[in-house]
Structure 1
Amino acid sequence: MTSTVRQLLQTKGNTVYAISPGATVFEALERMAAYDVGALMVMDGDQLVGIFSERDYARKIILMGRISKDTLVGEVMTGELITVTPDATVADCMNLMTGNRVRHLPVLEDGKLVGVVSIGDVVKAIMTQQEFMIAELESYITGSR
């Protein structure tokens, strides 16, 4: 049963898809499509400096009439990040995501990026926890434990 971000990352893996702030938005979109992800961590060397998401593209490129091949990721990324540590609970993540209307939480340990948790990861973990709890309760009620 997954209850912390550390356990969630052990289950799903801690692969991080990233891009440089100097890359073009078009390059970011190509990378997102190749990896089938909705966001990329923006890394300056080994330093997390932002996140670039489908939402950033829709609101800061399309709606503003900008051109993705001429715009740098660093110009339109979200720089104010909401992050979690590996010791945060899945419930903490859900509360942060819903309260702040974000779909991705970078996971930092000792200031270093060690993974990313998406809303899909959190929902899946919560559903798994609930299924486990239901099975335990059914087993208890029927006396088959």
Structure 2
Amino acid sequence: MLARDVMDTRFHLLRPGDTLTDAVASFHAAGREEGRQIFGMMVVDEDDHLVGMLSMYDILLFIQPKHMRIWGEMEDLDLDRLFPDLLGRARNIRVGDIMTTEVVTTSPDSHILAVADVMVKKHIRRLPVTEDGRIIGIVYISSIFNRLLTGFLAPEG
């Protein structure tokens, strides 16, 4: 079984020049369209080449106060006052400024066990599938797991 057998060919893309507000709106729109929450998207340049990924972790890491260790523990902060200020500052930050740029990819002909090995070892939930430098799909760790579960539940023989 190959990556092409479990990849999703419907995916949503962001551009490096999109704002975080645009990105969050895209996450919500994609979630409504797909009927599930979306926590990350691939980022492509004007030639549709993959240049990064933006995930909920990238956004949460960005809005987290940078000087937390200096300021003290979270309990010591007035988070009700701090949070809106942090969000306000983040609204117009560009996706390209905070996205992950070292993106691991796979080919459509990679075996799903090899793909799963990479995803588990690198703690990756979604893996772009590329061919000739273009994105043709995305593999979710949950898709591989569900396919493996189906194998476990199949009658022996």
Query: TM-score scaled to structure 1, two decimals?
Result: 0.82
1:78 to 76, 100, 106: 100
Q: Which has the higher contact order (CA 8 A, sep 6+)?
A: 2
RMSD: 1.5
How many aligned positions are there? 130
Residues in 2 aligned to 1:68 and 1:17: alpha-carbon distance in whole angstroms: 22
Q: Which moved more, 1:30-39 or 1:55-64?
A: 55-64
Residue number in structure 2 paired with 1:128 = 150
SS in 2 for 1:31: helix
Query: TM-score scaled to structure 2, two decimals?
Result: 0.76
What displacement does 1:127 show?
1.3
Contact 1:16/1:116, CA 8 A, preserved across alignment: yes
| 1:91-140 CA-partner distances (Å, limit 9, x unpaired) | 112111111111110101111110111122221122122222xx1x1xx4
| 1:48-89 CA-partner distances (Å, limit 9, x unpaired) | 100001111111233444633121000000000110000111
Residue number in structure 2 paired with 1:24 = 19
Structure 1, unmatched stretches of 5+, are 141-145
- The amino acid of 1:50's aligned partner reads G
Does residue 2 of structure 2 align to residue 7 of structure 1? no
Does residue 30 of structure 2 align to residue 35 of structure 1? yes
Residues in 1 aligned to 2:29 and 2:65: alpha-carbon distance in whole angstroms: 24
Structure 2, unmatched stretches of 5+, are 32-37, 67-85
Residues in 2 aligned to 1:121 and 1:14: alpha-carbon distance in whole angstroms: 13
Q: Check 1:98–1:20 CA distance in 2 against 1; reply closer, same or farther (3 A cut).
A: same
Residues in 2 aligned to 1:86 and 1:27: alpha-carbon distance in whole angstroms: 30
1:54 to 56, 60, 64: 56
Give percent identity, aligned residues only. 28
